[in-house]
Amino acid sequence: MDIIPQIIVSGLAAGGVYGLIALGFVLIYKATSILNLATGQFMTLGAFMCLSIMGQTSAPFYVSFMVTMAFAALLGVVIERVILRPLIGEPIISVIMVTIGLASILRGLTHIIWSPDYRSFPPIFPPQPLDLGFAIVPSGLLWGFIFAMVCTALFAATFRYTRTGLAMRATASNQQAALSMGIGVKNVFALSWSFAAVTAAIGGIIIGNISGISIHMGDIGLKVLSVIILGGLDSIVGAIVGGFIIGLLENFAGVYLDAVMGGGTKEVVPFVVLVIIIMIRPYGIFGKEIIERV
């Protein structure tokens, strides 16, 4: 079996999960112009919460999943109301630094509650891999990709075709105009954080099912930062496309460059892309170029 189709299929599957997590970054940025650097910790918290519910109550996965989503949505609203809302009007860099502090707090709480031990999810998806003839997709990666794409489509449809999505798009376009039309901008902010927390939690559950969970899995949030910079901070389509590109680059680097460089290139490639994109096209592939005239 040719290795290149296998690399492409696996890279696209991983990239779909990255795109879902990146969607949380984009939703917050579009509505509030804030870059949430605590996304990785939302992922970790969601994964541990779902695993704990399944383990402590013996509840089936779908019940644990729904409870975790409700918890994540509530967490997003509480964080926006209590921590972020008092910072409205403050310099953006101050708000970003607060999200860094929030990430440290959530990571510390996760460490205290669950300890730093590595954990594995019980089997959630059917174990049989999918044989495409030209490539074999592992079960966890296959179902994770399908799950991520379905969730991404649902969020994108909500953003595009519902009254809630219309309010979010109006707020993202012009907050003052949205206020003049009677849209509750502060409620949109809370909803954006709620959606972002949910997408991160889903991403954490998917990744946890594939590779297990620990308090360090939140580091993937920094990797996803390269996805949204590549695709465009304010583009939902860019989040998906950027996820696919980074997933492919990671897999090709892991196969072809690790042997030459002695390993580790797969983890470095997303950040190399991040630096290059910032230097060449800082607004990303699908992002809006902002021109300031003085």
What would the pLDDT profile of 5-56 be if each residue is shown by its tens digit?
888 888 888 888 888 888 888 888 877 778 888 888 999 999 999 999 988 8
pLDDT at 140 over 80: no
Is 98 within 8 Å of 87 (Cβ atoms)? yes
- pLDDT per position as a tens digit, 259-271: 777 777 888 888 8
| Two tokens, residue 143 | 């179902």
- pLDDT per position as a tens digit, 75-123: 999 999 998 888 877 787 888 889 999 999 999 999 898 888 888 888 7
pLDDT at 229 over 60: yes
pTM: 0.87
* Confidence at 292, pLDDT banded by 50, 70, 90: low
At 137, phi and psi to the nearest 5?
A: -105, 120
Rounded Cα–Cα distance for residues 95 and 29 (Å): 12
Rounded Cα–Cα distance for residues 104 and 205 (Å): 20
- Name residue 37's amino acid: L
